[in-house]
Amino acid sequence: MGYHEEYYVRTNRHKELYTMVSKLADSFKSRSEQYDREGSFPYQNIEELKKSGYTRLSVPKELGGEGISLYELVLLQERLAQGDASTALSIGWHLGIVMDTAEKRLWDNKVFERIAHDIVQNGALLNSAVSEAATGSPTRGGRPQTLAVKEGNEWVLNGRKTFTTMAPVLDYFIVVAAVEKNGEIAQFIVPRETKGLEIVETWDTMAMRGTGSHDILLQDVRVPHDALVQVLDQESKKKASGWLLHIPACYMGIALAARNHAVEYANHYKPNSIKGPISDLPNIRQPIGEMELKLMNARTFLYSVAERWDQDVENRYELHAELAAAKHVVTNTAMEIVDKAMRIVGAQSLYHKSPLQRYYRDVRAGLHNPPMDDAVISLLAQRATK
């Protein structure tokens, strides 16, 4: 384990969890290039996550999980992304949503307990299907075109969702739809096998190719009345969402992997114009030092916000600005680190066999996960001027 990783592994429980996730990440790393090249879904990685118990880590202890803290989520997700970023981002949604739902008691207890049981016993996976072509990012406040109509004791859903990460293996789709009768916007749990739900394989991108973030088509999908689990009103938006730190954790993992690759390369590459490796050269030591500085800077911010969330339980839901700023700083810094890593390695970084070109593509996706940069800046300005 390198000193960057060790730095945030502080307790025996961290050590235990970190050993487990490191094994998984190393196994994923060996297949990452293949999934990326094929644009295929990492089924084997997901199976390994289930078998290891990783997928139930954020279920509360009293329901059979580990009830991990936000700090632990960040620590684990960052390590997992060093192995395979697509897999990490995918499972990050699942772990994060479960953490948030349990913590804020967002759903009816019985429904949550039923789903939690399915996660613990059967390795069930869930994620939200919120984005649509018409709204773009749902964080912008656009109204979903997906419609929920009440018929007797059932809801009938019609619409199309975009970017549904992990669609190939999800057991539950948490679909956000407008309710026809009263105009409310609400979340509905739709089990995978529900008639009328179809996955349309649209995910063919240059980044995060293994996330299987396909479209979901809902045609007269019928679910029971208790499938409506939460109304997304102004009140529900007031509480900050710590779990979203799984996003910057993932992109920091990519940056760490790029940094490790570049330093290793610089320590071993010995062109015959010099005596030792290129890591002896001032023009290479400069970007290496800069990468270290950027990593320390961004990670200190990321972990301090996660720690604050865990410790300041009473005020955690006020941390909108801190959480958003951490995401902005980390994802942008991660892109700079990958860029520096590629400059250190030189043209070898352009070959498809080099993981750096994949990190370069994957890290850019962070810009398009919430909250987006301009929204963060505007939030900070709003707080400063109110």
Ligand X SMILES: Cc1cc2nc3c(=O)[nH]c(=O)nc-3n(C[C@H](O)[C@H](O)[C@H](O)COP(=O)(O)OP(=O)(O)OC[C@H]3O[C@@H](n4cnc5c(N)ncnc54)[C@H](O)[C@@H]3O)c2cc1C
Q: Which stretch binds ligand X (CB under 6 A): 67-75, 133-141, 217-225, 259-267?
A: 133-141
257 forms part of the interface with ligand X (CB under 6 A): no
Distance spanning both ends of the chain, measured CA to CA: 45
Minimum CB distance to ligand X smaller for 69 or for 146:
146
Minimum CB distance to ligand X smaller for 57 or for 167:
167
Length of the chain as a residue count: 386
- Out of 175, 365, 371, 376, the residue judged to bind ligand X by CB under 6 A: 365
**222 bridge partner residues:** 156
Minimum CB distance to ligand X smaller for 82 or for 211:
211
In b/e form, how buried is each residue of 105-115, taking b as 16+ CB within 10 angstroms?
A: ebbeeebbeeb
DSSP-based helix, strand, coil % in the chain, nearest 5: 60, 15, 25
189 forms part of the interface with ligand X (CB under 6 A): no
243 forms part of the interface with ligand X (CB under 6 A): no
How many Cα atoms within 13 Å fall on the side-chain side of residue 112? 21
Smallest separation, CB 130 to ligand X (Å): 3
- Give the tokens for residue 301: 């911010």
Judged on CB neighbours under 10 Å (0-12, 13-18, 19+), 275 is: exposed
332 forms part of the interface with ligand X (CB under 6 A): no
Smallest separation, CB 239 to ligand X (Å): 19
143 forms part of the interface with ligand X (CB under 6 A): no
Minimum CB distance to ligand X smaller for 63 or for 106:
106
126 forms part of the interface with ligand X (CB under 6 A): no
Minimum CB distance to ligand X smaller for 117 or for 160:
160
- Out of 60, 196, 277, 370, the residue judged to bind ligand X by CB under 6 A: 370
- Out of 102, 294, 369, 376, the residue judged to bind ligand X by CB under 6 A: 369
Give the C-alpha separation, 351 to 239, whole Å. 45
Dihedral over alpha carbons 107, 113, 118, 119 (to 10 degrees):
70
- Out of 9, 97, 124, 129, the residue judged to bind ligand X by CB under 6 A: 129
Q: Is the peptide bond before 60 cis (omega within 30 degrees of 0)?
A: no
Structural contact between residues 115 and 58, judged by C-beta atoms closer than 8 angstroms: no
Q: Which stretch binds ligand X (CB under 6 A): 35-43, 135-143, 253-261, 273-281?
A: 135-143
- Out of 23, 37, 140, 270, the residue judged to bind ligand X by CB under 6 A: 140
Minimum CB distance to ligand X smaller for 84 or for 279:
84
Smallest separation, CB 368 to ligand X (Å): 4
175 forms part of the interface with ligand X (CB under 6 A): no
Minimum CB distance to ligand X smaller for 151 or for 374:
374
Judged on CB neighbours under 10 Å (0-12, 13-18, 19+), 52 is: middle
**129 bridge partner residues:** 175
145 forms part of the interface with ligand X (CB under 6 A): no
Structural contact between residues 362 and 206, judged by C-beta atoms closer than 8 angstroms: no
Smallest separation, CB 293 to ligand X (Å): 28
Report which residue type is found at 32: S
- Give the tokens for residue 117: 């049981």
24 forms part of the interface with ligand X (CB under 6 A): no
Give the H/E segment covering residue 50: helix 43-52
Using CB under 6 A as the criterion, which residues of the chain lie in contact with ligand X when the complex forms? 93, 127-131, 136-137, 140, 163-165, 208, 211, 213, 365, 368-370, 372, 374
